[in-house]
Amino acid sequence: MKCIPLLVLLSFCNISIEAQKTNSFLIYSVKGSVTTVENNKGTKVKIGKLLTDKSRLTVGPNSLVSIICNESSLFSVTKAGSYSMEQFKDSCQANKSSITSNYLKFIWNQLTTPKGNPEKNRKNYMNNVGAVSRTSISVWVDSRFDTINYNNGTFPVSWKCYSDADEFTFEVYQMARGGQPVYQKTVTKTSIYISDFAAQLNPNTAYYWKILAKGEESDERKLFFIWDNASYEKLLAQLRNTQKEFETVAEENFRLGFLLESARFYSEAYQHYKKAAQLNPSAQLFQKTLEAFKKDYNIEQ
Amino acid sequence: MQPPKRPLKKNRFVFIKKSYQWLHRFYLRYLIKRDTILATFSVFFVIGLLGLLPFDSGILNPFKTALKDLDFNDISYSVLHKNAGTPIDNRIIIINIGNADRLGLAAMIEKIRQAKPKVIGLDVQFAGPKDPQHDSLLRHMIGSTPNLVIVSRIDWSNKTNTEQVGYFGIYTPNRGYANFIGEDGGTIRNFSPFEKVDGKFYPSFATAIVARADSTAYQKLKHRKKEYEVINYSRKEEQYLLIDGLDLLENNTTTDFFHNKIILMGYINPDPYNVEDKHFTPLNAKFAGKSIPDMNGIIVHANIISMLLDANYIQDVPSWLFWLLTILICWMHVALFMRYYIEEHIWFHIVAKMAQIFFAILSVYIGIQFFSWFNLKIDTKISLIVIILAIDIIYFYEALAVWLHSKFGFKTNFHSKSH
């Protein structure tokens, strides 16, 4: 019982600390004349500038500014005037729903949206279309590139284009949908080497990439995952040890190449296929597989 | 002196009579007890009440949720391999278009139509324009091939343009919607042969093909006047003649045998992890639980076409017969449960559980056999639910009957001291 007043006091302190937290505002987009006053000094705001509660923002006529608050919520100011950033603190409330409220929302939605069953209410169940789609997107990416695992080496991510587009934008994101690209490059070829962008990404993090021809929308984003050395070596050791029977080094490399290709480690698979073909040049299977692999993934000779 | 032997017939009669007397004493008399009949009635009354609830309680009911996309008849396909012995359907030839673009498709149609097939079905949706030259060629092919049927899509959420005809849809009247009936990502068991939109009837892709290929089969389907048909999956991919579109373009295959056949052009990818235009079907090796889609859309259409051509429809048990059987099953179970509940309560739960297990196995078996032998679909799920519900209803009924007895002198076999 003695603990209760202490708990109440701690809770009160926690609430007070939460209330005292300052907000940080990041300028996300600017159009027109937007200035900020900090420490009695006025400057024109630029994308990426960080403001605090104490900053003051002046938006000119026909201007707008979009701001991200506390890495969570985005809002825009379009009306001309001078604003204290503190007055935007209500826009900083992130939509952090608790598990309970999310669960209750889910239950609510489930309970209030009766759909019947496919036999009795077929119109609600006719969303499955049994036809392949040939959309207006002219860029085609092999479905094997839906997921790319990577640890080392050089390997081209390639695509085909059915239009006359001569410029493509390759983008890498941290999210499957939405967000800003963490890597962007315009290329004129129909491929890009993984090593060109992998160095700028963090290992053990899921990234999503897409390729778009100029003036076109793109297909869904594909997964790209960089394995750190320790994890990759562990996986490789596991794959190596799955075969207990005798095999030559060339055969082992060929098997590893096959297993790694299946596991979508294309760059690493290529290295093992190459090694197998080099170690045993007389083996037709190794040579032909390597040739087919190069052809499949558009690897230049 | 030995006693004279009784005639065998008389012995048998006595045995039957004694057996009947024993059975009557043990079980049959419970069938006609008022409590049994009222408890049976209560089971269906509760089911009716649950059905009247204005919201979908499925999410709170793991049993219902688990059974949502489960049909025991799927076992006929996935475990008992109902379709295993079906010969190759040589009336249908499937061309795998692979990743062919619009130019490739136009070239394929050109080759196919020269062989004078009965119908060509192009199972591809075209969302918008692409390369002007290729589009022009394909448009010409579609417009100038009278026996070519292309796919459209029914979108019920679009009130003004329910039939989405796609980019080339306006160049031909020969269209059929490719929609199947099923939950999103669920098993495809049904299709609707026709849909009525603003007073006009639209055929499905398979129906439109059959209408041009076999008018008798088409009339038969029309006369059934059913809003949906259960798909009789008779064949897998390998039970159809399959030709690679590239082989066709590179003249690696002859087109002579296309004459008078139904040619379906669609996308097939042998990679099990490529799920483009792939659907779950009852032929999936895993008939329940998480799995990967197993059949390309074009093969599902081919199965529907085979079914329509052979008039090999899956029949449903009439509703009245289905409910009559369900009530009968429920009544017999309630009588058994009542007997043990009142007379030998110590055994009640064991007997009830054993009866449920026994009936579950038996009913699924009977359902599967009827489906396999007679193409007759019996939904055994409802009778299973009824049997499971019956035990809880007996408890409720007992409390109600005892209360009615104490208040109004209601005659019941239950009495407050029984448990």
Asked whether the beta carbons of residue B125 and residue A136 sit closer than 8 angstroms, the reply is no
| Residue A193, min C-alpha distance to chain B (Å) | 24
Of A117-126, B46-55, B380-389, the least confident = B46-55
Q: Which of B127-141, B224-238, B405-419 has the highest mean pLDDT?
A: B224-238
Q: How far apart are the C-alpha atoms of B238 and A100, rounded to whole Å?
A: 50
The pLDDT-based confidence of B93 (bands split at 50, 70, 90) is very high
Closest to B235 measured CA to CA, from B298, B316, B182, B148: B298
* Residues pairing with A184 in the sheet: A171
For residue A107, what are the CA distances in angstroms to A168, B38, B60? Answer: 44, 35, 8
**In terms of pLDDT, which residue wins out, B315 or A243?**
B315
Residues in chain B, how many? Answer: 419
**Percentage of the residues of chain B whose pLDDT score is greater than 90:** 43
pLDDT averaged over every residue in chain B = 86
Q: Is the pLDDT of residue A197 over 50?
A: yes
The dihedral through the CA atoms of A93, A98, A101, A105 has a sign that is positive
Asked whether the beta carbons of residue B55 and residue A111 sit closer than 8 angstroms, the reply is yes
Asked whether the beta carbons of residue B301 and residue A130 sit closer than 8 angstroms, the reply is yes
Asked whether the beta carbons of residue B180 and residue A128 sit closer than 8 angstroms, the reply is yes
Q: Per the structure block, which two tokens stand in for B128? A: 């918008």
Asked whether the beta carbons of residue B154 and residue A127 sit closer than 8 angstroms, the reply is no
Asked whether the beta carbons of residue A128 and residue B184 sit closer than 8 angstroms, the reply is yes
Q: Per the structure block, which two tokens stand in for B112? A: 């196919």
- When CB atoms are compared, the residue of B105, B154, B300 closest to A130 is B300
Asked whether the beta carbons of residue B99 and residue A163 sit closer than 8 angstroms, the reply is no
Q: Is the pLDDT of residue B364 over 70?
A: yes
Query: Chain A: which residues have CB within 8 Å of chain B?
Result: 106-107, 110-115, 118-119, 122-136, 138, 140, 143, 162-164
| Residue A295, min C-alpha distance to chain B (Å) | 16
Q: Per the structure block, which two tokens stand in for B248? A: 């066709």
Q: Is the pLDDT of residue B54 over 50?
A: yes
Taking each helix axis as running N to C, give the angle between helix B380-408 and helix B319-343, from 0 to 180 degrees, rounded to the nearest 10.
50
Closest to B268 measured CA to CA, from B308, B241, B305: B241
| pTM summary value | 0.62
Closest to B207 measured CA to CA, from B195, B193, B220: B193
Which residues, numbered 181 to 210 in chain B, qualify as contacts with chain A under a Cβ-Cβ cut-off of 8 Å? 181-184, 186, 188-190, 192, 205
Of A282-291, B85-94, B408-417, the least confident = B408-417
Which residues, numbered 109 to 128 in chain B, qualify as contacts with chain A under a Cβ-Cβ cut-off of 8 Å? 123-128
pLDDT at A16: 46
pLDDT at A112: 57
pLDDT averaged over every residue in chain A = 80
Q: Give per-residue pLDDT as tens, A53-110.
A: 888 889 888 888 878 777 666 677 888 888 888 888 877 765 555 566 556 666 556 5
